[in-house]
Amino acid sequence: MAEARQVTATQDRRFQTYQLDEAYDEMFAPDGRPRPQYLTLFNRLLELSPSELEARQQSADLSFLHQGVTFTVYSDARGTERIFPYDLLPRIIAAAEWETIERGLIQRITALNLFLHDIYHQGQILADKVVPREMVYSSKHYRREMRGLDVPHGVYVAITGTDLIRLTDGRFAVLEDNLRVPSGASYMLANRQVMKRIFPGLFSQYGVRPLEFYGQALQNTLAALSPVSSEETTIVLLSPGVYNSAYFEHTFLARQMGIPLVEGRDLAVHDNIVYMRTTAGLRRVNVIYRRIDDDFTDPLVFRRDSMLGVAGLFNAYRSGNITLANAIGTGVADDKAIYAYVPAIIRYYLGEDAILPNIETYQCGEPNERRYVLDNLASLVVKAVGESGGYGMLVGPHSTAEERATFRTLIEANPRNYIAQPTIHLSRAPCFLEGQVEARHVDLRPYILYGKRVTILPGGLTRVALRRGSLVVNSSQGGGSKDTWVLTR
Amino acid sequence: MLYSIRHTTRYQYTSPIVESVTEVRMQPRNTDYQQCSQFRLQVRPQARLFTYNDEQQNTVHHFTQPGIHQQLAIVAESEVLVLPRPGLPAWLPNDSWEAIDAASGQHWDWVAPSNDTAPTEQLQQLANELQVTRNEDPLKLLVALNHRLHRSIAYDSGSTHVDSPIDEALQHRRGVCQDYTHIMLALVRNYLRIPCRYVSGYLFHSRTDTSADGATHAWLDVWLPLLGWVGFDPTNDMLVNERHIEVAVGRDYHDIPPTRGLYKGNAGSEMNVGVRVRMLQGSAEQIENNEDESAEPTTYRSTAQQLQARYAETLAAIQMQQQQ
Amino acid sequence: MNAMLSRVADSLYWMSRYLERADHIARQFDVHMTIVTEQAVDAARRRRRRLLTTLVGEEEYAEAENSDYHLSVLLTFDENNPNSIVNCIAAARENARQVREQINSQMWEQINQMYLAVRNQRMDELWSGQLHSFYHTINQEVYRFQGITDARITRDQGWHFVQIGRYLERASETADALNVDFRELYSNALEQDAVDQQTYLDWVGLLRGFAAYEAYSKVYTANVQPRHIVDFLLLNPYFPYSVHFGINRIQSSLQFIGEETETPKSARVYRLGGRLRAMLDYAQVDEIMDSGLGSYLLNIQNQCTQIHQLVYETYIAYSIEDKLKSMQ
């Protein structure tokens, strides 16, 4: 470990516990001085008295509560409302940095969409052995039913939330592609609404690129993918219902777009046409922004016990009468084992090198790489490919010999199911915590919309590990979020 | 051989249902050895029929019946010309195992064990018993396995149902054509690693056949170098010939059930299936046909049907939950 | 054409209906307790029997018939009684939860708090002096909910489904209570229109069970006469708990929904409402009494049930086959 340094630009008490080490710091350069894009915020923080900051924090709390940006804790049987943890200080991204991210994401999502189209049609990339056939066919998200099916406008991934992290050298890298049902956009928007009320002055000083059009952009994207002309398109958001943990987001986004929030039981399929049951009779539906997993969309084709979807939907989809966003079967391309091939996929379809690097990844399915992984378990992070949210993971440096032995057995039994990556240092950003400004690890999830063309929202959800020392940014495990400011040039 | 086939399926529900959605795989395939010259599907209550080819180029018909009904009848009639298959050589070239392994990439789905053909302890036992291992020419091995499997399992039409895992048949060593086929697929995939697929269809029965007449039949295709897909019928201890009429192929039964459907309503269902295969042209002397239309339709109640019954979430049901 | 999801209409309707029912049970029992203490053992038991008939069902409830304690348990907390207050409020809350994004957050909070308060109430505490305040509070809280609803909600289809739920429930309850009480008390009276001391308390109880005693007195003074009670609770067009008032509200909500949805079958629904309304508009209490109050009330209840069914068939649980046909 490199020696911890202090912030040199100020003696302010609130920065006393701010730690700088080998992890990239979003606010301070290695010499302890603020980076240019943070200078204004830094000076503003020094002007504000501790009580003023506290007052703004409280005002933000209230604002979240009143907006209803809450989640319901059903486990305590009382239906208590809690606000989502968030942090007061914005994460600031300079215009030039953002341009790289934007180009990188457009490149990546274009290639992944081509990949999906290919593997569900001719499978050229498999025949050319760029991606091993069994990696695709053995993925639990590969949907054989999608073979030969032409999705409307050729777009498989209409909405993506790609998880980026910043490496120690300051470059952004892709940690994970979320091509199925990425969530969190509502928190991005809610954060922004609150922050504009809390720091109105800073906004005008900075020139922050706006996000408010997200609802409209999403709606336009979905309308552009409709099988019918966009004026006569009916779009709905299909939710699993009130007991789903992301239900708040479903209601929020439906409201932002001004479209009905439906459940499977609101829909019916007859003669390959999807209808919604309304008090004024059946109304034809053209686009479904579905927030339920593939498995639950159509009990006739997928899980027969699913009550969340609608029987016959897939045949309507096959016949081209309805757009599903995202398409069925996109999960195969965000499989952790496929992830390692993404740079090759980009090169294969676009003839370009990946603008945003991957984290180095070892495939336990490949004998040489498996050997390396088994020899270096103590220094690597091992992940099961089918899992998400931090399950089925071995963090080498924090593991016991016993845990490593367990994983060794697991990997040997089912190598395809495991990948390994070196331990990575997420960058840190300043957070306001109990009167102090401290550095906490962050990642970034920008949202990519793919309708007529690919557009990227300038910003995203910055997730932050609010617990000191923690690397886990998931909200279920003490993670929070903060507003992300992308600056105009 | 030209056949005329009539395949009837009747569902009777214990109480009225609505909004049923059904998929049917009943149209015989066109292959190198078989040509379906006519096909007609009728359903009651009346519905508009839609069709598509699934990823294996099986023809699928589907339809919805939104109104209240308590019966569903599906009648599929076809005329199929089946040509004799060329005889098989006694063995394959020496490098056949290498050729099989080299092709296993493109046949990935046919080599990987599917849900119904995953290895189990009982399968292992049978594999040991029958010595299923790559110790010989692949074709000879398969022919021998087809024969030995037939002798290891007794045909018993009531012993299993459509959703039985292979262990059920393995445990009692009794089963129906579906079990013979799944077990042989499982052995070939897990112990010989040769690509193979489930075939559903009909058999123009002769008196010596083991499998029950009046029902659908199942067997398997195994992919072999130079030969391509070769059909084995372990239920009847024979190679697939011009009495076999092929309807659909898949990884296992659950990829290609003849009917698959869901409905709304609190009702159970009973299914009756009848199959009649008649020869229109061909040499009747060659094949002893038993009297057609005499066989009673097979009646069984599947767990899939019971599952369907549980899919009862009509708005009517919602209304019922809300008491006035 | 304006549409809302049928499921949402369904939830709003039942949310409203269950709350109205909880309110009704609470008031009925509260009033019962003020009257029963002054009654003879036999009259008290008959009174409990009548309450059970209207609020729970015709079955035998021996314990509850003989004891107010058991009656209160059955009416309030019994999980096996689908119409206990706890179950009604839970059902109302569940329906509200299904449409949380459609209703006002205050409405949800209000209904959630009611649910928690009732669930956390302990029986022994209730009977050590909190009886009246408990039931009274339920009434207050339901009023508060309805107040928020009426003050804060856009008068769109959703609001009208809330109205239909509330007033269909109310109209059937009023008709039911009139029917049960008259069947027993009225035929037992010697002089049919004279009220004896025995039954006076029960007649007053009937009025107060619908918070109607004061309003009644303004019209008829304190002269409690069965015929006037019928006139008031059945035919008065201005009193919110009267059947006539409820039917008027239902009728105008049906009309609104019919115009909004432009559903071909809407006409059938509001014609039914209109017919019932006209029947009450032109009714004379003497004629009703002469030709038989029981059958008249039964007719009203049947028509309420029919309205419910038609609303469901037309807007909520319709056959998609019918709608597909009408689209062609």
Q: Do A279 and C98 touch (CB under 8 A)?
A: no
CB under 8 Å to A52, separation ≥6 — which residues? none
pLDDT at A219 over 80: yes
Residues B232 and B110 in one domain: yes
Tell me, yes or no, if B260 comes closer than 8 A to chain A by beta carbon.
yes
- How many residues are given for chain C? 328
Residues B47 and B110 in one domain: no
What is the spatial distance between Cα B63 and Cα A355, in angstroms, rounded to a whole number? 48
- What is the domain extent for residue B56? 2-82+255-321
Whether residue B228 lies inside any domain: the answer is yes
Tell me, yes or no, if A1 comes closer than 8 A to chain C by beta carbon.
no
Domain spans of chain A? 97-187+206-350, 362-422
Q: Do A78 and C6 touch (CB under 8 A)?
A: no
Considering only the beta carbons, identify the residue of A261, A279, A283 that sits closest to C257: A279
Chain A residues lying within 8 Å of B19, measured CB to CB: 268, 311
The two tokens of residue A194 are 């609150």
Chain C residues lying within 8 Å of A311, measured CB to CB: none
What is the spatial distance between Cα A417 and Cα A399, in angstroms, rounded to a whole number? 20
C12 touches C104 (CB < 8 A): no
Residues B109 and B214 in one domain: yes
Nearest-CA distance from B293 to chain A in Å?
A: 33
CA-nearest of C119, C101, C99 to C22 is C119
Sign of CA pseudo-dihedral B289, B292, B294, B297: positive
Which range in A199-203, A375-379, C244-248 is most confidently predicted, on average pLDDT?
Answer: C244-248
User: In C, what residues contact B, Cβ < 8 A?
Assistant: 6-7, 10, 14, 82, 91, 305, 308, 312, 316-321, 324
Nearest-CA distance from C89 to chain A in Å?
A: 14
Nearest-CA distance from C265 to chain A in Å?
A: 10
Residues B228 and B298 in one domain: no
Q: Do A299 and B261 touch (CB under 8 A)?
A: no
Q: Which of residues 121-150 of C touch A (CB under 8 A)?
A: none
Report, as an integer, the average pLDDT of C309-316. 95
Over residues C51-91, the pLDDT tens digits come to 999 999 878 888 998 999 999 999 999 989 999 999 999 99
pLDDT at B306: 33
Residues B240 and B297 in one domain: no
What is the spatial distance between Cα C247 and Cα A365, in angstroms, rounded to a whole number? 72
Residues B246 and B264 in one domain: no
Over residues C216-242, the pLDDT tens digits come to 999 998 888 899 999 999 999 999 999
Chains that touch A (3 or more CB pairs under 8 A): B, C
pLDDT at C193 over 70: no
Considering only the beta carbons, identify the residue of C97, C100, C320 that sits closest to A282: C320
Residues of chain B with pLDDT under 50: 284-324
Whether residue B215 lies inside any domain: the answer is yes
Compute the count of residue pairs across chains B and C with CB atoms less than 8 Å apart. Answer: 33
pLDDT at C296 over 90: yes
Residues B240 and B153 in one domain: yes
Whether residue B300 lies inside any domain: the answer is yes
Residues B205 and B158 in one domain: yes
Number of domains comprising chain B: 2
pLDDT at A72: 55
Compute the count of residue pairs across chains A and C with CB atoms less than 8 Å apart. Answer: 66
pLDDT at B282: 67
Residues B151 and B47 in one domain: no
CATH value of A362-422 in 3.30.1490.270, 2.60.120.620, 3.30.70.1400, 3.40.50.261? 3.30.1490.270
More confident residue, B315 or C3: C3
What global pTM score does this model have? 0.89
More confident residue, A348 or C187: A348
CATH value of A97-187+206-350 in 3.40.50.11290, 3.90.70.10, 3.90.1150.10, 2.60.290.11? 3.40.50.11290
Q: Do B66 and C320 touch (CB under 8 A)?
A: yes
Considering only the beta carbons, identify the residue of B55, B64, B310 that sits closest to A271: B64
Among B216, B251, B286, give the residue marking a domain's end: B251
**Edge-to-edge strand ranges of the sheet holding B244-250:** B238-239, B228-233, B217-224, B196-203, B244-250
Among B218, B251, B284, give the residue marking a domain's end: B251
Find the residue in C nearest to A275 (Cα): C320
**pLDDT interval class at C328 (50, 70, 90):** confident
Whether residue B91 lies inside any domain: the answer is no
pLDDT at C196: 72
Find the residue in A nearest to B256 (Cα): A301
Residues B138 and B165 in one domain: yes
The two tokens of residue A246 are 């992301």
Residues B161 and B49 in one domain: no
pLDDT at A461 over 70: yes
> Cis peptide leading into B234, omega within 30 of 0?
no
Report, as an integer, the average pLDDT of A16-41. 92
Find the residue in A nearest to C327 (Cα): A282
Residue type, C259: E
Chain B residues lying within 8 Å of A318, measured CB to CB: 52
> Other C-beta atoms within 10 Å of C153: how many?
16
What is the spatial distance between Cα B207 and Cα B287, in angstroms, rounded to a whole number? 9
Considering only the beta carbons, identify the residue of C10, C316, C321 that sits closest to B67: C321
Q: Do C1 and A78 touch (CB under 8 A)?
A: no
CB under 8 Å to C79, separation ≥6 — which residues? C86, C87
Q: What percent of chain C has a predicted confidence (pLDDT) above 90?
A: 66
Tell me, yes or no, if B321 comes closer than 8 A to chain C by beta carbon.
no
Chain C residues lying within 8 Å of B20, measured CB to CB: none
Q: Do B262 and A307 touch (CB under 8 A)?
A: no
Q: What is the ipTM of this complex?
A: 0.88
CATH number of the domain to which B77 belongs: 2.60.40.2250
Nearest-CA distance from B178 to chain A in Å?
A: 21
CB under 8 Å to A334, separation ≥6 — which residues? A141, A176, A177, A178, A179, A180
Whether residue B216 lies inside any domain: the answer is yes
Considering only the beta carbons, identify the residue of B19, B108, B310 that sits closest to A137: B108
Considering only the beta carbons, identify the residue of C91, C305, C317 that sits closest to B316: C317
Chain A residues lying within 8 Å of C263, measured CB to CB: 279-281
**pLDDT interval class at A3 (50, 70, 90):** low
pLDDT at B312: 33
What is the spatial distance between Cα B127 and Cα B149, in angstroms, rounded to a whole number? 10
Chain B residues lying within 8 Å of C7, measured CB to CB: 315, 318
Find the residue in B nearest to C169 (Cα): B324
Residues B58 and B18 in one domain: yes
CATH number of the domain to which B203 belongs: 3.10.620.30
Over residues C315-326, the pLDDT tens digits come to 999 999 989 988
DSSP C281-324: HT--HHHHHHH-HHHHHHHHHHHHHHHHHHHIIIIIS--HHHHH
Whether residue B110 lies inside any domain: the answer is yes
Q: Do A277 and B315 touch (CB under 8 A)?
A: yes
Q: What percent of chain A has a predicted confidence (pLDDT) above 90?
A: 64
CA-nearest of B298, B287, B273, B301 to B5 is B273
Nearest-CA distance from C223 to chain A in Å?
A: 47
Find the residue in B nearest to C83 (Cα): B323
What is the spatial distance between Cα A297 and Cα A316, in angstroms, rounded to a whole number? 12
Which phi and psi (to 5°) does residue B52 adopt?
-155, 165
